[in-house]
């Protein structure tokens, strides 16, 4: 398959479980992939080494660092002369019970919003000119059903994902028609975070999910691929990838 041959896709945090699955899915249909990372170069390099095709790029560019984002845009312009796809995948959280207000300290709140919301906005701001050039591009924000349900690792995380979905709608209107903007909104995903949780908790989530399991990184990657290549008349939408979990 070569649907994205000649296209360039940037995946922030592309070395993680979901990020690397997205990279593999897009590379498999011909895209040249730019993987950014904040701290773990080893994961980013391993993800790049797993990709089909060639001419991929790894760069350190923390999303909360606007100067680094500007340098990233310049590097992509120099190497490729274009950017067709931006996947805002980088994000952070930590588990804090929602009723434990004292443990959700200001530093944690600020860092979650700095990475999960401001970082995504900063990436779009820095890369908009490249995305809007030529035939136009697409932005996929990796959100979470926590932004809709209010159930997640902590209150700030839920709020940051709700803010991300709101930004998706705002920028879909503001950047049209040159750039489409969508959110892909997973439920529980069998990745690093879920694997740290007690098996009983995961089993409970599986039992409450109509499709009988939690998601895999590949499910999210498939939704990103579909949004880019098939849902070409969609923008501003929040695409759930949750097995129907809110119905359980």
Alpha-helical regions (H) of the chain: 17-28, 41-49, 66-79, 106-113, 119-132, 146-149, 155-175, 192-195, 199-207, 217-229
Question: How far is residue 188's CA from residue 35's CA, in Å, rounded to a whole number?
Answer: 24
Residue of 80, 157, 193, 225 marked active site: 157
Nearest 5°: phi and psi at 209?
-100, 120
Instruction: Establish whether 37 is a catalytic residue.
Output: no
Which class for 106: exposed (0-12), middle (13-18), buried (19 or more C-beta within 10 A)?
A: exposed
Scanning 80-118, the segments in alpha helix (DSSP H) are 106-113
Tokens 């997205």, located at residue: 22
Q: What value does the CA radius of gyration of the chain take, rounded to a whole number of Å?
A: 17
Q: Which residues have a catalytic role annotated?
A: 157
């Amino acid at each position: 398959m070569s649907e994205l041959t000649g296209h360039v896709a940037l995946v922030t945090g592309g070395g993680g479980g979901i990020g690397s699955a997205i990279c593999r899915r897009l590379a498999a249909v011909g895209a040249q992939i730019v993987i950014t990372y904040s701290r773990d170069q080893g994961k980013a390099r391993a993800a790049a080494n797993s990709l089909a095709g060639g001419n991929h790029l790894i760069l350190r560019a923390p999303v909360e660092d606007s100067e680094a984002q500007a340098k990233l845009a310049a590097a992509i312009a120099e190497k490729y002369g274009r950017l067709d796809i931006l996947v805002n995948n980088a994000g952070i959280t930590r588990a804090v019970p929602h009723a434990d207000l004292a443990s959700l300290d200001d530093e944690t709140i600020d860092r979650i919003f700095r990475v999960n919301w401001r970082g995504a906005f900063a990436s779009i701001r820095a890369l908009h000119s490249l995305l809007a050039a030529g035939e136009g591009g697409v932005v996929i924000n990796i959100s979470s059903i926590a932004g809709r349900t209010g159930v997640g690792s902590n209150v700030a995380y839920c709020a940051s994902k709700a803010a991300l979905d709101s930004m998706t709608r705002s920028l879909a209107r503001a950047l049209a028609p040159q750039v489409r903007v969508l959110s892909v909104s997973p439920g529980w995903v069998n990745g690093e975070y879920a694997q740290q949780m007690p098996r009983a908790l995961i089993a409970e989530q599986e039992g409450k999910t109509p499709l009988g399991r939690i998601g895999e990184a590949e499910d999210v990657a498939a939704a990103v691929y579909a949004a880019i290549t098939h849902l070409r008349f969609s923008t501003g939408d929040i695409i759930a990838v949750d097995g129907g979990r809110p119905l359980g």
